Amino acid sequence: MKKICLVALSFVAIISADAQTIKAKLDAAIRQLEKDPQLKHGLIGFSVIDAATGKPVYEKNGEIGLAPASTQKIFTSIAAFEILGKDFRYKTSFGYSNLRDYEFVKPVGIDGALGIVSSGDPTFGSWRFPSTKPAVIFEAVMRAFKDKHAKNAVGGIIIFKNRFESKAIPDGWIWEDIGNYYGAGHYDLNWNENQYDLVMKPSNKPGDSVRIIATRPSIGDQFTNELKTGAKGSGDNAYIYFEPVQTKLYLRGTVPCCVDSFTISGSYDGTSLFFDSITDYLYHNKFFHTNGHFLFIRHPDSIGTFSLLMDHYSPPLDSINYYFLKRSVNLYGEALIRTISREKVQIGSNEKGIELVKDLFEKIGIEKSAVDIIDGSGLSPQNRVTANSLTKALGYAKGRTWFNSFYYALPEINGMKMKSGSIGGVRSYAGYQKAANGKEYIFTIIVNNYSGSSSEMNKKLFRILDLLK
């Protein structure tokens, strides 16, 4: 009996010594980083817990609110799994509507219209999934229309609003971001992830103007082009700006010289993109009235006639979440936040969705003040979360039935399963790591207001995280 007790005590001593060793190593590494010139005016938050026990292993400024950038997506992802469920799908309904139901509509020769009840589906028309590609959706809709109606043409398209507030872009997003693809807003109807490609021809001489070749899909000639050609190999330093209360888009910055063409992606109203795409498809398939009149009715006050033709379903939430975390698609985060609100309180509101997310994490012991967020993706520089709150959320996820789907979607960076975050002056990582001795850690590290090279800062953070391996 004494031998058994001695063995047990020795085992506990070894575990305790190991914990002390890793804590000492992490502490020494953090102290060194704090003295680094890149952090002279910066701040670091670091939190590590034992995955098996949930007990703290190391903490530095763990309760200080910091801008998290895209590691904030962890909160949105967990809340979506918990509230919506991993099998949740968006449903977009297509039906036959009658143009004569709307008194303000002038006759166009054909009464039939394609009615669409949108669902806020962020994957609608996306290239990422086989079932969401434009041609697949359009062909299915046209087959359903022909099967159920003798008419072989339509005189218009009606988009019905479906319980989402009109504000497509969260408060706190900056002008530099919202005109570009990663700053796309979320609409009740989204298409092609609400983005377009802008194809340009730079000069072979730095400083010269840049010529616009095309937009795909086309959004017309709305650009004030102030772009200049940059040095060879200088990369993408171009930005698309919305002019407030105007329809013009401004192109500023540089793209590199000496290439045949250069492409960047911008954000746009998804409903308008959809209308242009489907009317082009209908025209080429001789499926709409060709007397020059084709109506587009957006969000009429009443739904009028709607005879269901077919329902289009999005991929399940776990598939959407895969791209949300793996490819850091900001649109998906904003869609999920607003969808949580719509499913719970019948209106898709950013503010209400954020409130419901905070309520969820408060129930598992994370103070609302530790999750001070205003969007679902982390794009706003006004977001503030603590390292401890992210680590605790990751620990909670580990015990849920949907954890495998969540874990699978996390990127592998530096040989570790973790989500990264990056906006101006911010670098962050949060995830899971199994050490060589079999112990598993859950961690979050956030640096704010560093100076100098982002790649150099990443290397320094990786050297710290390598101590968990």
- pLDDT tens for 76-129 read 999 999 999 999 999 999 998 888 888 766 666 677 889 999 999 999 999 999
Residue in 453, 452, 442, 404 with CA at minimum distance from that of residue 71: 442
Count Cβ atoms below 10 Å from residue 51 Cβ, excluding itself. Answer: 19
- In this structure, the number of other CB atoms found within 10 A of the CB of residue 56 comes to 15
Q: How far apart are CA 435 and CA 438, in angstroms?
A: 5
How far from chain centre, in Å, is Cα 48? 26
The residue assigned the tokens 């999920």 is 336
Q: Where are the domains of the chain?
A: 24-87+318-468, 91-166+282-315, 175-267
Say if residues 111 and 153 touch (Cβ distance below 8 Å).
no
What's the pLDDT tens digit per position in 33-92? 999 999 999 999 999 999 999 999 999 999 999 999 999 999 999 999 999 999 999 999
Query: What is the reported pLDDT for 110?
Result: 74
Pairing of strands 249-256, 307-313: unpaired
Question: What does DSSP say about strands 156-160 and 112-117: parallel, antiparallel, or unpaired?
Answer: parallel
Stretch (H or E) spanning 342: helix 330-345
Percent of residues in the chain assigned helix, strand, coil, to nearest 5: 35, 25, 35
**pLDDT recorded at residue 299:** 87
Question: Which regions of the chain are under pLDDT 70?
Answer: 1-19, 104-109, 150-152, 243-246, 288-293
pLDDT of residue 154: 79
Residue whose entry in the numeric block shows the structure tokens 């950013």: 350
Residue 113, pLDDT score: 86
CATH dotted code for 24-87+318-468: 3.40.710.10
User: CB 178: neighbour CB atoms within 10 A?
Assistant: 20
